[in-house]
């Protein structure tokens, strides 16, 4: 995403982001000031002409946006599914407490393993300089593996499906990180800051929900409606090329994913979620979206162009 009158520097054209995510094609006339911003955002092109370089970025932009809009909407709402059927008890039997503790332990253990595996696959993608997969391949891979994981969630094969799912997401994340590393002189710092921010937010919110054991089931409805609104706003930002709205949607998704983390953790604590595979998937997607949203905002306001 580049150009426009807002004077906001953003890397959306370089590394399209989600969650839940938005961006804008630059199809409108821009002022000289905006033109200077655009020139700063475009790094030197090596090995191919500038026209094909920008065209390739726009293709990645469209692919990533479409994918994350639909994907985040589906997975996030899917994670909210149990909220209507959950009933909390004032006093819980010892067996139920033990089952809850086991669920939480298994969820965070699996989540840690999948995050490491996903990071490893992203590293492989960066090292090999793999291109972003096309829209069709990405959609088939995401939704196919999501369906497979959901279908196998009650068997040992579900564990393999989780690693296949998160590994594929790591591969698609690699090209985005690679673009940031090459576009900004402080790209590595931006990536590490976004990663650290994601970790702090997740640990803080999870720790709060686990220690206070508060019921955050009421957050589910707000998160679901918020994701729908952000989804539509993101589509609007992409179609009408509104950079400010794109960044606003990124900020919205940070809040929404924070709410999703609270909701999912509360569901595990109070018995609304009993399957650690599905709990892992929901938390992983929240972290994935949170990281990319932070990365986009950091790139827009703190990125130093090469």
Domain ranges within the chain, ordered by starting residue: 32-302
Q: For residue 152, what pLDDT is reported?
A: 95
How does pLDDT run across 249-261, given as a tens digit for each residue? 999 999 999 999 9
Q: Lowest mean pLDDT: which of 17-26, 71-80, 291-300?
A: 17-26
How does pLDDT run across 118-164, given as a tens digit for each residue? 999 999 999 999 988 877 888 788 889 999 999 999 999 999 999 99
Q: For residue 125, what pLDDT is reported?
A: 95
Q: For residue 26, what pLDDT is reported?
A: 39
What number is the average pLDDT over the span 197-210?
96
Q: For residue 36, what pLDDT is reported?
A: 37
Its pTM stands at 0.72
How does pLDDT run across 18-63, given as a tens digit for each residue? 444 433 333 344 444 333 333 333 333 333 333 333 333 333 344 4
User: What is the residue-averaged pLDDT of the chain?
Assistant: 76
50 CB-contact burial (10 Å; exposed 0-12 / middle 13-18 / buried 19+): exposed
């Amino acid at each position: 995403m580049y150009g426009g009158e807002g004077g906001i520097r953003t890397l959306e054209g370089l590394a399209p982001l989600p969650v839940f995510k938005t961006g804008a094609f630059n199809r409108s006339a821009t002022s000289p000031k905006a033109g200077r911003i655009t020139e700063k955002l475009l790094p030197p092109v090596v090995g191919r002409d500038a026209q094909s370089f920008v065209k390739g970025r726009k293709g990645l932009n469209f692919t990533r946006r479409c994918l994350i809009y639909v994907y985040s909407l589906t997975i996030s709402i899917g994670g909210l599914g149990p909220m209507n059927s959950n009933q909390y008890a004032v006093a819980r039997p010892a067996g139920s407490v033990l089952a809850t503790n086991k669920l939480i332990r298994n969820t965070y253990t699996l989540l840690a393993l999948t995050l490491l595996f996903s990071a490893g696959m992203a590293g492989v993608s960066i090292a090999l300089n793999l291109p972003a997969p096309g829209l069709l391949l990405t959609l088939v891979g995401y939704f196919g593996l999501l369906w497979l994981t959901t279908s196998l969630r009650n068997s040992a094969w579900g564990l393999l499906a989780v690693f296949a799912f998160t590994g594929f997401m790591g591969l698609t994340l690699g090209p985005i990180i690679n673009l940031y590393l090459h576009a900004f002189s402080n790209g590595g710092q931006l990536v590490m800051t976004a990663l650290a921010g994601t970790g702090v937010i997740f640990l803080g919110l999870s720790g709060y929900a686990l220690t206070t054991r508060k019921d955050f089931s009421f957050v589910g409805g707000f998160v679901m409606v918020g994701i729908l609104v952000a989804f539509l706003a993101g589509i609007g930002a992409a179609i009408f090329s509104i950079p400010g709205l794109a960044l606003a949607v990124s900020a919205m998704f940070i809040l929404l994913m924070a709410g999703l983390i609270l909701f999912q953790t509360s569901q595990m604590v109070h018995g609304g979620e009993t399957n650690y595979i599905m709990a892992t998937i929901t938390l992983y997607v929240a972290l994935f979206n949170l990281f990319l949203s932070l990365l986009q905002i950091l790139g827009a306001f703190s990125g130093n162009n090469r």
